[in-house]
Structure 1
Amino acid sequence: MSGRVLVVDDNRVIRQLIRVNLELEGFEVVTAADGAECLDVVHQVCPDVVTLDVVMPRLDGLRTAARLRDDPQTSGVPVAIISACTPYEVESGFAAGVDAFLAKPFEPAELVRVVRQLVHGGRRQGPSQETEGPPSVDGSRRGAGRAGTPRT
């Protein structure tokens, strides 16, 4: 098994798409329909990575990420946002402790690459790296406006 991923998205089709792509690569996947459900199940699931959509009912992805960071039991779990994000949302996400962004629509191979790197590499490094712009999952620098844009 490659690791356990908690996939959080209010769109059932997107949840299923992410689940299938990750399960084909050997990940165990648990899903939640919004941020509130994520916070309800995260302690039972003990995921290696959490993926979050931004726009969701009850509790959005950025507020969910901030709450995961504030909880000592989940503060070290890598978090990836999978969403069509604005540069402002990317900046807000890094401020909330998000480790990676993947823009929708995403390439399945890019999804697997990001999740695999987070499972094996853990969280991004400390705040000292943020002075030159937020690092991507692989440690390279990207401007906030381009963060999460799939590379070709």
Structure 2
Amino acid sequence: MSEVLGRVLVVDDDEIIRQLIAVNLTLEGFQVETASDGQDCLDRVLDVMPDVITLDVMMPRLDGWMTATRLRGDEETSHIKVVLITARAQEDDKRRGLGIGVDAYLTKPFDPSELIQVVRDLALAAHSG
């Protein structure tokens, strides 16, 4: 069995997209957990302690913006790498994400190989720093 590349928490309210991301990352060697929305993410993040969180923006209960803001505002989770994955491709949205302190921003539909590369790079950065 090869070494696990890192732990990823995949957060998306769309089960099909959540499973698509999870399967791609699992096949690549990541240990993957999933959450169905931002509140579910915050409820589970300390148990999972992922290296990287992929986070949809438009979700019920707690959207990706607020989830990322809360992750960054908590010293126990502020170090976790965050990738926003969203259909919102406007420059204002990207600036908002960078202003919150997310580490990467991918727009839907995304290229699975690009997602894998971004997550791999962030997981490596998480382990080296």
Q: Tell me the matched-pair count.
A: 122
Hey, which of these two has a bigger chunk of helix by percent?
2
Q: Which amino acid aligns with 1:67?
A: R
Q: What's the offset of the Cα at 1:112? A: 0.4
1:118 aligns with one of 110, 115, 122: 122
Q: What's the offset of the Cα at 1:88? A: 1.5
1:104 — aligned with what? 108
* SS at structure 1 position matched to 2:54: strand
2:92 aligns with one of 88, 91, 94: 88
2:15 — aligned with what? 12
Measured on the aligned residues, the alpha-carbon RMSD in Å equals 0.7
TM-score (norm 1): 0.79
After superposition, residues 1-152 of structure 1 pair within 5 angstroms as: 1-85=4-88, 86-122=90-126
Larger radius of gyration: 1
TM-score (norm 2): 0.92
Name the % identity: 57
Q: Which amino acid aligns with 1:53?
A: D
Hey, which of these two has a bigger chunk of strand by percent?
2
Structure 1 unaligned segments of length 5 or more: list them.
123-152
Structure scoring higher RCO (CA < 8 A, sep ≥ 6) equals: 2
Deviating above 6 A after TM superposition, structure 1's stretches of 4 or more consecutive aligned residues are none
* SS at structure 1 position matched to 2:8: strand
Structure 2 unaligned segments of length 5 or more: list them.
none
